[in-house]
Chain A
Amino acid sequence: MLKYDLPKKFKNWIETKNWVLRPHQIEVLNNSKRQSQLLIAPTGSGKTLSGFLPTLIELDSVKFSGLHTIYVSPLKALAADIKRNLMIPIEEMGLNIRVEDRTGDTKAATKRRQRVDPPHILLTTPESLALLVSFPESKVLFANLERIVIDEIHALVESKRGHQLVLAISRLQSLCTNLRKIGLSATVENPNEIAQFISKNEASCPIIFAKTGIEPDISMLQTKVSPPWSGAGATYAIPDVLEKVSSHKTTLIFHNTRAQAEIFFHNLWLNNNKNLPIAIHHGSLSLEQRKRVEAAINRGELRAIVCTGTLDLGIDWNDVDLVIQVGAPKNIKRLVQRIGRANHTYNAPSKAIVVPANKFEIIECQAALEAVKDKDLDGETVQTGSLDVLCQHILIVACAGKIHPTKLFKEIKKVGAYKNLTKHDFKECLRFCIDGGYALKRYEQWHRLKIDNAGNLVLRDPRTSNRIRMNVGTIQDTDTLKVKTHRRGGGKALGEIEEAFAASLTKGDTFLIGGKIVRFENLREMVVEVTQNANKQPKIATFMGTKFATSTKLSDRILDNFQNEHWDDLPADTVSWLNKQKEFSELPVKNSLLVETFFRKSRHYMVVYSFAGRNANQTLGLILSKRLEELELAPLGFVANDYATLLWGLKKVQNPIELFNSNAIELGLDNWLSGNALMKRTFKAVATVSGLIDRNLPGLKKSGRQTTFSSDILYDTLVKYDPGHLLLKITKDEAMKGLIDFNRIKEMFDRIDNNIKHIDLPHVSPLAAPMLLEMGTVPIEGKAKELILKNEASLLMKEAGLV
């Protein structure tokens, strides 16, 4: 039996609450003198209190002045929420503890005051913490720091925000040698990797597992109409979803993209005969609108909220008793975390329903449900620290004062994410920070950092520290424009859309935002002006939201299910669909690559069942098109989804097997990569994080000056004149795992081990048929694109009577 002697005050308080300390909370207290620990606990298990208890007890037992504990969470909103929750025990026990938050929303005057007169507990985000580290006062500020609590660490480790955080921690560890760290994480498949992320070696970081709650009650939605062959809207399921909403108290309806959420919400209201109060919440809505929805949730006024990942994390909504996931979840871990949003009472099962958007997604949803039951989570492997974030960190540290590079290198290597950092990479980052790191040395007299007589790094011009601070952060803002209603003296803010999407609109076009259909009127001073318009079918809002790729684990499970014919739980028409595929062609399996070819209406088609996820399949499509062009097989286009790539052209591919030589594919990749739009997009992010270009600051954005130029120009220039440059290396690494996802293609080649099965068919196979419906959605690149412009230009000139 685990025991911990709580101080009397705490004991009494817990008794008045009718609580008992849970085993994991006791363990955390017992470990509280250790340098680091990691708590893995499901939502609703008192995770946050576990993290804070040692702090509250320590602060109550001695008179402490200064900053004792820093709490970091990925969301600003979470910091505010935690403050509310933390004040309850502090007030009820009458503890003399000051708690404050510090995020991007905190007033400048408060921030300044906090630097000299900090609270006992500071609630903040990775970006705000990095910013704190950049001030010369940080040495004094952090001198007495005892603890750091990292909430939702599982969400942070997957991104550069986590890298930013551990780098800030590496600094804190140098400034205060007794710093103790605790990570709080949702259920993950790789606790050891997360433990390593914050501490240099696993052994020094005990991992505590809270008892998991009751098994979730999770199923696929039974619908009156069966899902369509293709599409992602799940409109067919609206009546059944509404029925579920009306038989539950509060339902969260999760979507994978914002556009899908908008369309679904719109359709939901068209059918909402009972006028159930249903709202929408996602990241491109205006802040006030989101806050309004959040307040309504807190007051228990809503029956359902249509949402995206913005509600994935943190904030506790007590009354949610059902979670609906629309569209295949693509990732098992995310599904589990979303399920956890339902029923935040520890002892009741979470109830969740998944809604496949099309027939293939039935198979994927089934595989995901099985995985949840088997507790077989997928997880991206925790990535080693990125070098662009390291560049930013070097500059941040230099803002705070002199530092010797060797000392900096040593302290950085003390956090897990950077423990394998090589001296060579560090030096390259350092050189980049000093003079840009170019092969052509042109900035000798204008270095950003200089080395003083003692060998320390210092800013050449102290004024640059302001600029460095303004650029702290790793979250990439896509270029977005505000949407406002068209009215004299400024209309109401509705939200934001991507600039590229805005550019594709002409007057009279309609799109959905915040559940309303609006009509595009004009673009004025970087604001999209719209009027409300309820008459027209909306043009699809393709704005924002990441398209997730189906994870490797989930793809593997689907292939396993094909092979084992494990179809008992699938609907009858799905089973007959798969049987037809088996009779006519074959089902794809894990250890070989199925390639089908067929002829239809003057086009030759080729389907590659690579099951490598959307991004990798897209890349494969582009590379194969290029290969087909080289072989003079006149490819015309392709379409990719999570499972396969479909290519079509004027000539038949006689022997597809020769196309799939993995060396040739890799070579094709290299040739195609350098001019690629995805590379340019990735480069922009890398260049911003590393401090080559300024981030788009609100207010400063688009000042309309002809002197600012696009980062694409910098990319092209580097590729042409300095191809070995550090930022190009980082860009390639990132793109390979991100949008281009070439690593998944490599994984696929390893999996199939040269087994390629080519089947030539008289017509399209049952499995490929839905893909034909998705055709024509991929924009054409290269020569063809220029041709379109040329033709259009001459048409427009004629139309205007100018030729």
Chain B
Amino acid sequence: MNYFKFSISENELLALPSGALWWPDQSILCVSDLHFGKSNRLARKGQSWMPPYENQDTLLRLEKDLDATNTKKIICLGDSFDDNEASRSLPPDEVLWITKMQTRREWIWISGNHDPSPKNLGGTFLESLEIEKLNFQHIASSKKRFEISGHYHPKIRVRVKHQSFTKRCFLVDDKRVIMPAYGTYTGGLYCNRDPLRSIMNQNSIALMTGKEIYPIPISKAN
């Protein structure tokens, strides 16, 4: 398995190319911004009729990460559903799929701005969570503490030999990790523009996801 290893507050964490974060000592897998039900919400609102396959695609990738890490605990870091209604109207086959994944492991849903109160699914629903001084919550706070958060869907663009590469990425500095969006139908914000630019420390690095994971200083983003 390809990964990038780094430490926050003396905890060793592994960023995976899929965009998931693996904490081997605690057997915790963390993913953020799954946005289940996005196509459903857009159609319901009369905005767009996207191919309705994004839940399936997200679940397939999640299943692969769960199998590879054999994790005991999973933390979904908010915006797991595109809105509250989306969690209620998840099709039965997908609910079953999630339920199957929930057996044999602890499942924690952190609430996000899109899904303040999801229902109808197993697992624990929390606003935030602290483990070994690491705070898990949806949106980064201004508090001086160690934090793992999501929300902003960071991406990075670098220019190499007249070609430009854009990838979803983790942003990491000595106190903070901002997770990339894991859901299939998600866009992103460039890490070198506000608000991300002001949240992150100047020396932070971006971990580009994709087939393999590549670290790159944020200052080199284009």
Distance from A479 Cβ to chain B, minimum over Cβ atoms (Å): 12
- Option from A442, A461, A704, A708 in Cβ contact (under 8 Å) with B52: A442
CA distance A467 to B187 in the complex (A): 21
| A762 is an interface residue with CB less than 8 A from chain B | no
Q: Do B44 and A446 have beta carbons less than 8 Å apart?
A: yes
| B98 in the interface (beta carbon within 8 A) | no
Q: Could you say which residues of chain A place their CB within 8 Å of the CB of B159?
A: 503-504, 506
Say which residue of A440, A725, A792 sits within 8 Å of B160 (CB atoms): A792
- A-side interface size class: 35 or more
Say yes or no: B52 contacts A440, CB within 8 Å. Answer: yes
Interface SS of A by simple majority:
loop
Interface 1/0 per residue, B154-193 and A, CB below 8 Å: 0001111111110000000000000001001111110001
| Closest B residue by C-beta to A705 | B187
Q: Give every chain B residue within 8 A of A464 (Cβ-Cβ).
A: 46
The digit string for B199-222, where 1 denotes a CB below 8 A from any CB of A, is 000010100101110111101101
Stretch in A196-204, A289-297, A589-597, A782-790 with 4+ CB within 8 Å of B: A782-790
Chain B residues contacting A443 (CB-CB under 8 Å) are 43, 49, 52
Known: A436-B49, A788-B161. A802 touches B211 (CB 8 A): no
Q: In the assembled complex, which residues on chain A have CB atoms less than 8 Å from the CB atom of B163? A: 504, 779, 785, 788
**Contact A440 to B217, CB < 8 A, known contacts A506-B159, A706-B181, A709-B187:** no
Residue among A436, A463, A504 making CB contact with B51, cutoff 8 Å: A436
Q: Given A446-B43, A709-B187, is A802 in contact with B217 using a C-beta cutoff of 8 Å?
A: yes
Q: How far is the CA of A720 from the CA of B56 in the complex (A)?
A: 11
Whether B53 pairs with A717 at a CB distance below 8 angstroms is yes
Q: Which residues of A contact B187 (CB under 8 A)?
A: 705-710
Question: Does A693 sit at the interface, judged by CB under 8 A?
Answer: yes
Indicate if B153 sits at the interface (CB-CB under 8 A): yes
Instruction: Scan residues 755-803 of chain A and give those whose CB is less than 8 A from a CB of chain B.
Output: 779, 785-786, 788-790, 792-794, 796-797, 800, 802
CA–CA, A31 and B220, complex, Å: 69
Known: A442-B39, A706-B187, A713-B185. Is A786-B51 also a contact (CB below 8 A)?
no
User: Which A404-461 residues have C-beta < 8 A from chain B?
Assistant: 435-436, 438, 440, 442-443, 446, 448, 460-461
The residue in chain B whose Cβ has the minimal distance to the Cβ of A781 is B163
Does A722 have its Cβ within 8 Å of any Cβ on chain B? yes
**Contact among B48, B57, B220 for A717, CB-based, below 8 A:** B57
B216 touches A793 (CB 8 A): yes
> B161 and A692: CB pair below 8 A?
no
B81 proximal to A (CB < 8 A): no
Which residues from chain B contact A13 at a C-beta distance below 8 Å? Answer: none
Q: Could you tell me the distance in whole angstroms from the C-beta of B68 to the nearest C-beta in chain A? A: 20
Expressed in whole angstroms, the Cα–Cα distance for A787 and B50 within the complex equals: 33
B54 on the A face (CB < 8 A): yes
**Once the chains bind, are B43 and A717 in contact (CB under 8 Å)?**
no
Whole-angstrom CA separation of A197 from B208 in the bound complex: 51
Whether a CB of chain A sits under 8 angstroms from the CB of B198 is no
Chain A residue contacts of B184, Cβ below 8 A: 713, 717
Q: Is B149 an interface residue (CB 8 A)?
A: no
Given known A-B contacts A692-B49, A714-B51, A706 and B165 have beta carbons under 8 A apart: no
- B216 touching A797 by the CB < 8 A rule? yes
Complex Cα gap A794–B160 (Å): 12
Question: CA of A717 to CA of B54 in the docked complex: distance in angstroms?
Answer: 7
B212 near A790 with CB under 8 A, answer: yes
How far apart are the CA atoms of A394 and B185 in the complex, in Å? 27
B91 neighbours in A (Cβ, 8 Å): 442
A538 to B24, CA, bound (A): 53
- Partner among B164, B181, B210 whose Cβ is within 8 Å of the Cβ of A503: B164
**Of A460, A467, A500, A714, the contact of B50 (CB 8 Å cutoff):** A714
Asked whether any CB of chain B lies closer than 8 Å to the CB of A694, the reply is: yes
The answer to whether B111 has its CB under 8 Å from any CB of chain A is no
Cβ-defined contact, A504 with B162, below 8 A:
yes
A710 CB contacts on chain B under 8 angstroms: 187
Alpha-carbon separation in the docked complex, A443 to B37 (Å): 12
- Once bound together, how far apart are the Cα atoms of A455 and B187, in whole Å? 39
The answer to the question of B22 belonging to the interface, with a C-beta cut-off of 8 Å to chain A, is no
- Please report which residues of chain A, range 188-246, place their CB below 8 angstroms from some CB of chain B when the two chains form the complex: none
Cβ-neighbour of A709 out of B49, B186, B212 (below 8 A): B186
Once bound together, how far apart are the Cα atoms of A713 and B167, in whole Å? Answer: 12
CB-nearest residue of chain A to B167: A789
CA–CA, A116 and B154, complex, Å? 49
Q: B136 within 8 Å of A by Cβ?
A: no
B36 at the interface (CB under 8 A from A): no
A500: chain B residues within 8 A (beta carbon): 164
Q: Which residue of B lies closest to A709 (CB)?
A: B187
Chain A residues with CB below 8 A from B217, complex form:
796-797, 800, 802
Which residues of chain A have C-beta atoms less than 8 A from B160's C-beta?
788-789, 792
Q: Which residues of the other chain, B, contact A4 by a CB distance below 8 angstroms?
A: none
Chain A hits for B186, CB < 8 A: 706-707, 709
Tell me whether A720 and B50 are in contact in the complex, defined as CB-CB below 8 angstroms, given that A788-B161, A790-B214 are known contacts: no
Known: A506-B159, A693-B48. A721 touches B189 (CB 8 A): no
Partner among B56, B164, B181, B215 whose Cβ is within 8 Å of the Cβ of A797: B215
Q: Which residues of B contact A436 (CB under 8 A)?
A: 43, 49-52
> Are the C-beta atoms of B48 and A692 separated by less than 8 Å?
yes
CA distance A448 to B50 in the complex (A): 12
The contact of A792 among B57, B158, B188, by CB within 8 Å, is B158
Q: How far is the CA of A704 from the CA of B190 in the complex (A)?
A: 9
The 8 A CB mask of B118-159 against A (1 = contact, 0 = none) is: 000000000000000000000000000000000011000111
**A587 touches B (CB below 8 Å):** no
In the complex, whether A718 has a CB less than 8 A from a CB of chain B is yes
Known: A717-B57, A721-B53, A796-B217. 6 other contacts (CB 8 A): A440-B52, A692-B49, A704-B193, A706-B188, A708-B187, A792-B158
Q: List 28 A-B contacts (CB under 8 A).
A: A436-B43, A438-B52, A440-B52, A442-B39, A448-B43, A460-B46, A461-B46, A467-B47, A503-B159, A692-B48, A694-B48, A706-B186, A706-B187, A709-B186, A709-B188, A710-B187, A713-B185, A714-B50, A717-B184, A721-B51, A721-B53, A721-B56, A721-B57, A786-B211, A786-B212, A789-B165, A796-B216, A797-B205
